[in-house]
A and B are shown apart, each in its own frame.
Chain A
Amino acid sequence: MRGSSVFAVPDPVPALALRGAGRRYGERAALRDLTLELEAGRTLVVFGPNGAGKTTLLRMLATLLRPHAGEVSVLGHQLPDEGYAVRGRVGFLGHEALLYRELSGRENLRFHARLHRVGVQRVDEVLDAVGMTARCGDPVAELSRGMVQRLAIARAVLHEPDLLLLDEPLANLDPAAAAQVAPLIGAGSGRTRVVTSHDPAGGLRGADLALGLKGGRVALLAPAAEVDPGQIAELYR
């Protein structure tokens, strides 16, 4: 009945829809012919050896790199043309913290809060959530790697993004910190997530869809529940 009605509700727009997406750096293809869909609220985990194209994929989804081939739609908006509608709705945690070394953690977050039009009380909230309240006045240059990573996580979730793009988010974090940030960026955060990982078992946990890249090509794409960690380890051989 419903399907034939003119008032039928369309399928909810997938959070990510890529068709034949590709990206080059000069002549070198970093990502080729990637086709996938991810529903809102789900997690995609991306595996692959160094140079496989994981960061390239994340930066493309974050609107920082424009796709050179295929179609890329993020949160229902076509990239690169509708990038303006996507910006501000993604939380990007890359290899670099995107924090000024001479500013304190709080100053950095306040700066980002102003760019994203977020109230200052939210800054204190996220600082507390990542356990950085005590050291938030110190210049970033004087913090340990793990502390900087905590601040970077705080920065990425500051504006309550719908889509989290997390490039090895737990790098440099001790186990306690990893547990502490789980409500912000973990599977329980309720957000759509794309997470890169080099840890097969850990990466598959909490993921819905698994993507394996090798040399920019798709080597594996399957529901996470059907993937065996051994298959992931195979990628790195």
Chain B
Amino acid sequence: MRSTVAALLSKELTLEWRTRESVPAMVLFSIATYVVFHFGLDRDRVTGDLASGVLWVTLLFAAILGVNRLFVAEYEQGGFDGFLLAPVDRTALLVAKALTLFLFLCIVEVVAVPAFALLLLGPPLTQALPELVLVLLLANAGIAVLGTLVAGLAIQTRARDLIVPLIALPLLVPVLLAAARCATPLLQDGGAGALPADWLAILAIYDLLFALIAYAVFDFLLED
């Protein structure tokens, strides 16, 4: 299983490096959205819950772009068949795709979060950076697992670009809510507040729940 995941993941990263189909689009989308917020809200300083909301809604929509493209090469270039013909654990595809999306989100955030700080955020980003990174990682995990599941479901349908946000966004509302609540005190003016342990726990529980659901149903998605 581990070597299969490694093979899939390295293929995934090589393909993204060659085609640059997902990550640049996600990065540009996030930055453009922060610019739009900058002018749309007509201010260069947001703090607290507003800052947290703007940060997360943008990242979530950017993630949808990645989710949309996650299985396109498999679907259009026979990757599914190639994988299904191999004597490997099919869960490996779920794990590899979720890891791919997780890494993409992390890379996007390395650029997008500083851009957000530059364009919109009032207090310095550094006031609670380790805590913010933790929240980002936990939220990324939830988005990655659920996104992979939805991407696998939608790839067979013709209206993929419509189905993905339609299914993924409502299901990700709990992640959005918990992540935003976690980040709010970290982005408030006059020094960061404590990370709310209850919301952090909810975020972690959601990640676990989604992971279990994905593990249980992903095989069925691959079945003919």
A residues apposed to B, CB below 8 Å: 62-66, 84, 87-90, 92, 94, 96-103, 107, 111-112, 114-117, 139, 155
Contacts and interface: CB of A to CB of B under 8 A. Distances in A.
Given A65-B224, A101-B77, A103-B15, A116 B87 contact: yes
Contacts of A112: 82, 86
A64 B82 contact: no
B18 A103 contact: yes
Contact of B84 (A87, A114, A117): A87
B78 A99 contact: yes
A88 B18 contact: no
Interface string B1-29: 00110110001001100110000000000
B22 to A, nearest CB: 13
Contacts of A114: 3-4, 6-7
Given A63-B85, A115-B86, A139-B18, 6 more contacts: A92-B85, A96-B77, A100-B77, A102-B15, A115-B83, A115-B88
A116 B18 CA distance: 24
B82 A98 contact: yes
A124 to B, nearest CB: 18
Contact of B73 (A96, A100, A115): A100
Nearest to B87: A88
Contact of A100 (B3, B79, B84): B79
Interface of B: 3-4, 6-7, 11, 14-15, 18-19, 73, 77-79, 81-88, 223-224
18 contacts: A62-B85, A64-B81, A64-B85, A64-B224, A65-B224, A87-B86, A88-B86, A90-B85, A92-B81, A96-B77, A96-B78, A96-B81, A98-B77, A98-B78, A100-B15, A103-B14, A107-B14, A115-B82
A99 B7 contact: no
Among the interface residues B4, B7, B84, B85, which one has the most CB atoms of the partner chain A within 10 A?
B85
Contacts of B3: 114, 117
Contacts of A102: 15, 18-19
Contacts of B84: 63-64, 87
Nearest to A152: B78
Given A84-B87, A87-B86, A94 B81 contact: yes
Contacts of B18: 102-103, 139
A100 B72 CA distance: 11
A97 B78 contact: yes
Contact of A87 (B11, B14, B79, B85): B85
Contacts of A99: 77-78, 82
A146 to B, nearest CB: 18
B220 to A, nearest CB: 12
A164 to B, nearest CB: 12
B224 A66 contact: yes
B14 to A, nearest CB: 7
B224 to A, nearest CB: 5
B156 to A, nearest CB: 13
Among the interface residues A87, A94, A98, which one has the most CB atoms of the partner chain B within 10 A?
A98
A115 B77 contact: no
Q: Which 5 A-B pairs have the closest CB atoms?
A: A88-B87, A114-B7, A98-B78, A115-B86, A98-B82
Among the interface residues A65, A111, A139, which one has the most CB atoms of the partner chain B within 10 A?
A111
Contacts of A88: 85-87
A101 B83 CA distance: 16
B80 to A, nearest CB: 9
B81 A115 contact: no
A139 B3 CA distance: 24
A68 to B, nearest CB: 10
A115 B79 CA distance: 12
Contacts of B86: 87-88, 112, 115-116
A114 B7 CA distance: 6
Nearest to A100: B77
